[in-house]
Amino acid sequence: MLVVKQVKFLMRIVVFVLLLVCVLLPFASLQAEEVLNWEQCVVEARSNHPDLQSAIASIRAAEEERKIAGAGLLPSLSIQGGVVESGYTGSGAGSPGARYSYALSLGQLIYDGGRNSRLAGAAGEGIKEAESSSEAVSADVRFALRAAFTSLLKAQDYVTLAADIQGRRQRNVRLIGLRYRAGREHIGSLRKAEADLADAEFEVSRASRGLGVSRSALSTAMGCGSGSASLRVRGSFIALEPDAPTPDFMALAASSPLVRRLEARTRASEYALGAARSAFSPELSLSSSIGRSAVDDWNPDESEWRAGLDLVVPIYEGGSGRAGVARARAVVSREEADLKSGLHGMLDLLEERWKLYMDARQYVAVRKKFLEAAVERAAIANAQYSNGLISFDDWVIIEDSLVSAKKEFLNAGANLLVAEAQWIQSKGEGLDGIGE
């Protein structure tokens, strides 16, 4: 009897543990699920995306290049020393010995026609070009991230929508099956309902597979590599209100990273042209040194010093100076043409992206009205079909219209976010300031 009581007690414990696991398991899976909003995705991309890291490294390289170019304008100081052993072979005269030498030298460029200062100016424009390129990279990364975020958001909603459509198709099959067995519907109607159900089941499977692809794409857009199987996003298909009814396209184009990069290249080429012309100017520099060179006598107290001015006047260099000026002038012409072309292209791009953005905003409102109408028509048609007031062909057309309206509304919302992201990208707005 005691054994039976112990067995019953153990069984109660096992049942309690199983119930506890069943209750807590869903909560554990929810905690393991990684849910990110848009701002959190931006923070991840700013920290991890390799394209942004490469752009930052390019800015640092340009800054160091500016220091290298400006070094020619600063004094140069060097110290050197050495000892050389020498000797003779054979019966020649002389005796071996050691020669000691040391020197401290100082040099300063006084005048070179502005060549070094112009090269430093060109390098400074290189920093601005790198910064503009970095802003363009940030804008591209933002667009790719927003598109991937929208894709996953749409894929999540589409999984739910496909499951809802599948349930609706299953109810339709049961309804038409009952009417067929009652002799109120023919076999063709039942086969059509079964085909619609098969298509809905396929859409559920395809939506599930697409969810994995979208997760991987978002992880890549954040710079995190392979995606997590539990990654989800939280958001809505709502775009921000535009700042103005009609933007100033010329101002936006002039301030875009592409145009500012072309402007920096144009100014750099103008500096390079000035530096090429300076090749015909004389170069004047100050040099001084103190040191000593002696044999078998190391006496730092006895030193020699020298100070003077060095003047170099170019007379003839085989025509390389004129060729350099002509080449630099051609580069300036090329950069000016590229700047003009880039500005015009940016204006066209901004106007096109704005149009697509406005179209997408208006189209969402249109698809919403279609969806509301389809929901009302489907509710009425279901009641009419159940009462035999409309034919199967008319009813199934309304059912298909409802399914299409739901899909189109979801697609319109996703396309709106993508169009908004394209518009923001064309303006050159990147990840800075988001989520801070």
Q: Report whether pLDDT(192) > 60.
A: yes
CB 148 within 8 A of CB 76: no
| Bridge partners, residue 196, by sequence | none
Give the domain extent around 167: 35-77+98-427
**Structural domain includes residue 18:** no
**Structural domain includes residue 415:** yes
**Structural domain includes residue 83:** no
How many domains does the chain fold into?
Answer: 1
What six digits make up the tokens of 253?
């184009």
Between residues 260 and 89, the one the model is more confident about: 260
Amino acid sitting at position 52: L
Could you give the C-alpha distances from 194 to 175, 177, 348, in angstroms and in order? 11, 10, 50
**Structural domain includes residue 21:** no
How far apart CA 140 and CA 146 sit, in angstroms, is 10
- At 268-277, the pLDDT tens digits run 999 999 988 9
The set of residues, in sequence order, having a beta carbon less than 8 Å from that of 260 and lying 6+ positions away, is 128, 132
The set of residues, in sequence order, having a beta carbon less than 8 Å from that of 327 and lying 6+ positions away, is 276
**Structural domain includes residue 3:** no
pLDDT-derived band at 1, boundaries 50, 70, 90: very low
Which CATH number fits the domain that encloses residue 197?
Answer: 1.20.1600.10
- At 324-376, the pLDDT tens digits run 899 999 999 999 999 999 999 999 999 999 999 999 999 999 999 999 999 99
Residue 345: helix, strand or coil by DSSP?
helix
| For residues 72-80, average pLDDT | 85
**Structural domain includes residue 417:** yes
- Is the whole model's pTM more than 0.85, yes or no? no
Predicted local distance difference test score (pLDDT) of residue 290: 83
How far apart CA 324 and CA 314 sit, in angstroms, is 14
Q: Which residue has the tokens 């710079």?
A: 223
The set of residues, in sequence order, having a beta carbon less than 8 Å from that of 182 and lying 6+ positions away, is none
| For residues 190-201, average pLDDT | 93
Q: Report whether pLDDT(90) > 90.
A: no
Predicted local distance difference test score (pLDDT) of residue 88: 61
**Structural domain includes residue 117:** yes
**Structural domain includes residue 44:** yes
Task: Give residue 115's Cα distance to chain centre.
Answer: 38
Rounded (5°) CA angle 281-287-291:
160
